[in-house]
Structure 1
Amino acid sequence: MSKRYESILDTVGNTPCVRINKLGPPGINLYVKVEAFNPMGSVKDRLALGVIEDAERKGLLKPGQTVIEATSGNTGIGLAMVCAQKGYPLVVTMAENFSVERRRMMRFLGARVVLTPASDKGSGMLAKAVELAEAHGWFLCRQFENEANAEYHARTTAPEILEAFADTQLDYWVTGFGTGGTLKGVAGVLKQRSPNTRVVVCEPDNAPLLGSHLPQSRADNGMPSASHPSFRPHLMQGWTPDFISKLTEDTVNAGLIDEICPIEGSKALQAAMDLARKEGIFCGITAGATLAGGLQIAQTAAPGTTILCMLPDTGERYLSTPLFADIETEMTPEEIELSRSTPGYRFDKPSAPPPSVASPVTATPEAEQFLAEALTDTHQPVVMFALEWCEFCWSLRKLFSRCKIPYRSVDLDSAQYQQNNLGGSIRAALNARTGVVTIPQIFIGGEFVGGCSEVFDEYSSGRLKERLKNAGVEYDDSLKLDPYSLLPSWLHPRK
């Protein structure tokens, strides 16, 4: 990695195969391919780049055309990276029950995310993507049947594996199936160039789509026409949708799969946690599930057997899932006792304030004039005196933004007010006027309302609505919310 790259897209692939030293049985050579080393943290970066560049070469994707795809998240995140770098607008459709981290990441990268009801499952979000693509003339990636998906893995992932194990026999390659791209692309190459490597495909034990050997109903274009009868909800997001993809079905029909391994959800969670706490490898539930499959193989394998498991993504996009259900946000009793083992910087015992050495700031005539003009400006009757990165100020900004309340923010600590400490002088003038030393301070029509909590309380009581009406401020008064929910979690009252 110690080289220069022309763009982030050049860093996709070449992920490491890492030995597992503590989790497998003695005498077994257990390795994992850590796809979290891709720039957006998952194996789907490969798919995204492969599908987009294939469409460009074939003239299927025009400059500036919108790209759309149905995704559980990782493909969408990879596509968001590729589309951002190449200049394509991106829309993704995603079932509402997938983790919120994923949709926020895609939106941060510039994508638009259209959610579909959880009851419609993966086939519902796929149908919505098709519907939108046809209605608007967008390019649909079709990751579940697009051969470019599998071909990219055949060109990159499979050769990387063969190179990593060029000096030894790779006995088992273990993976999930999802879109089927990784499975079809890698399995096809392994069967040609490493025929003694057994391909093991894992799936949830309560949703045995492949293990049931029941056919998938399919439309003429290769897309599923209905949910598979063996599908049940499971923990492994993105690992097994409610249908068998065309790429996966092709792999089954070609006889490239040697073994199907059902995985319990609890074992997937435990394996993911064990990877983090015993091997220092931070990954998601699907990676834990794949490793659990590798560990099952290892229990009965002969000494000296070499196993490679695919770890599809990182653990950061599972923060709102059962993987982190037992991970505390606040201090545990053990951590509280650790805090109490030394005397300072504790929540239950205030620390002594540091001695003040700064000279008191006074309100200059310039600051007094600034304050007077700001509070009598009829064009901007809502004025917030704030600090740029204060959490209370940002919580108020969220409220004003959601209610579409126009306001002026005077950020006293910003570069704009640094010369001659004008910000400090304005704050001194504010203190003299209101008798309040804290920030933020909000005025409406020249009248002092208070700080963050006072505005929140007036919003809840309806008093803020009256103030805005009296000041002639037009805004959206239809929104109903608990304003205190806009505070960062650490500012909520400590239980």
Structure 2
Amino acid sequence: ERIKIMENYGAKVHELKLEGGSEGSIAGAEVEIDTRIKCLEVESKNPKVWWARQFSNPANTRAHVKTGREIVQQLGEPVDAFVASIGVGGTLYGVAKALREAYPDVLIVGLEPGSARYPISGGYTHVPGTGDEVCGGIIEEMMNSGIVDRVVKVSNSDAIAMSDRLVREEGLFCGISSGANAFMACKLAEELGPGKNIATVLPDNRDRYLSEKKYTT
């Protein structure tokens, strides 16, 4: 479906077979390395090609600082915790910056796939053997800043189950990253107890998971 949409916009789609990897529906860098290398190669050979580099583009983080400020404005009361999956890190880092500015004691929690081979929770900000051209970026800057209080793992099965619930019970046609976020937000609500405000985002549409293809932005 997404390939057809892109082709209708005039894009020439290059498909790559990705081998192995972690649970790509929640992951970022690990499942994207091969495609990032290809993007770098294509861009270097063609002056008409521009690669957005979502994983290292500072505009990504800046955009989500605005998301964080919107959360502060619309909620109108303190945010006790914010949780978001770490794809390339822009959402978590940008929102965290805005929330920490407004509420210095807010708990910032990042999520990663339970099967990650090089877990951020284990200290990895690069996939071993890769350079800064295709890895590191926002995630490395974010983790070095100390703004994230915890990085926890969520299984694909828990994320999928919650995304299914969001569709059935709330009518929200969202994807697996959204399911992971909602799953952990519920867990944090149980941990922190009554009267606490737990914020998250639903960043993906379910239509991107109608097939198992992976995409690099």
Q: TM-score range by the shorter chain?
A: 0.7 to 0.9
| Residue identity in the other structure for 1:145 | S
Summarize the alignment of residues 51-450 of structure 1 with structure 2, pairs less than 5 Å apart: 101-119=1-19, 121-137=31-47, 138-154=49-65, 156-166=66-76, 168-207=77-116, 209-216=119-126, 217=128, 218-219=130-131, 222-224=132-134, 245-321=136-212
SS at match of 1:206: coil
User: 1:128 and 1:105 mapped to 2: Cα distance?
Assistant: 21
Decide which structure has greater helix share.
2
How far 1:215 sits from its partner (Å)?
Answer: 4.9
Q: Assess if the C-alpha contact under 8 Å between 2:80 and 2:196 holds in 1.
A: yes
TM-score, L = length of structure 1: 0.38
1:110 to partner: Cα distance: 2.2
CA distance in 2, matches of 1:316, 1:144: 22
Task: Tell me, in whole angstroms, the C-alpha distance in 2 between the residues paired with 1:146 and 1:281.
Answer: 29
| Displacement after TM superposition at 1:309 (Å) | 1.6
SS of the counterpart of 2:55? coil
> What SS does structure 2 have at the residue aligned with 1:175?
strand
Unaligned runs of 5+ in 2: 21-30, 213-217
Structure number with higher strand proportion: 1
SS in 1 for 2:15: strand
State the AA in 2 paired with 1:305.
K
Alpha-carbon separation, structure 1, partners of 2:125 and 2:147: 17
Instruction: Give per-residue Cα distances to partners, 1:243-293, cap 9 Å, x unaligned.
Output: 6x4101111110010111210111111100111111121111111111111
Distance across 2 between alignment mates of 1:318 and 1:109: 20
Tell me which amino acid in the other structure corresponds to 2:124.
L
Q: Does the C-alpha gap of structure 1 residues 189 and 278 become closer, same or farther in structure 2, counting only changes over 3 Å?
A: same
- CA gap 1:288/1:185 in 2 versus in 1, 3 angstroms: same
Preserved CA contact (<8 Å) 1:205 1:264: yes
RCO (CA 8 Å, sep 6+): is it higher in 1 or 2? 2
Deviation, structure 1 residue 294: 1.0
Cα distance in 2, alignment partners of residues 140 and 315 from structure 1: 25
On the 8 A contact 1:129/1:140 being kept in 2, the answer is: yes
Letter in 2 for 1:209: P
Q: Deviations over 1:157-212 (max 9, x none)?
A: 1221111122x111111101112111222212222222122111011111162111
Q: One-letter code of the match for 2:202?
A: L
CA distance in 1, matches of 2:40, 2:179: 32
8 Å contact 1:183–1:248 — kept in the other structure?
no
TM-score (norm 2): 0.84
**Change in CA separation of 1:215 and 1:170 when aligned onto 2, cut-off 3 Å:** closer
The Cα RMSD (Å) is 1.8
1:143 is matched by which residue type in structure 2? Q
SS in 2 for 1:118: coil
Task: Read off the aligned partner of 1:274 and give its amino acid letter.
Answer: R
Flag structure 1 segments of 5+ consecutive residues without an equivalent. Answer: 1-100, 225-242, 322-495
- Deviation beyond 4 Å, 4+ runs, structure 1: none
Mapped partners of 2:120, 2:175: distance in 1 = 22
Pairwise CA distance, 1:223: 2.6
> How many correspondences in the alignment?
198
- Is the Cα contact below 8 Å between 1:170 and 1:197 reproduced in 2? yes
| Distance of 1:198 and 1:102 partners within structure 2 | 35
CA distance in 2, matches of 1:109, 1:288: 29
CA-to-aligned-CA distance 1:7-35 (integer Å, 9 cap, x gap): xxxxxxxxxxxxxxxxxxxxxxxxxxxxx
Kindly provide the CA deviation profile for residues 332-371 of structure 1, in whole angstroms up to 9, marking residues without a partner as x: xxxxxxxxxxxxxxxxxxxxxxxxxxxxxxxxxxxxxxxx
**Bigger radius of gyration among the two:** 1
Taking only the aligned residue pairs, the percentage that are identical comes to 31
Tell me if the contact between 1:179 and 1:247 (Cα under 8 Å) persists in the aligned partners.
yes
In structure 2, give the amino acid aligned to 1:178. G
- Indicate if the aligned counterparts of 2:83 and 2:92 stay in contact, CA closer than 8 A: no
Letter in 1 for 2:168: R
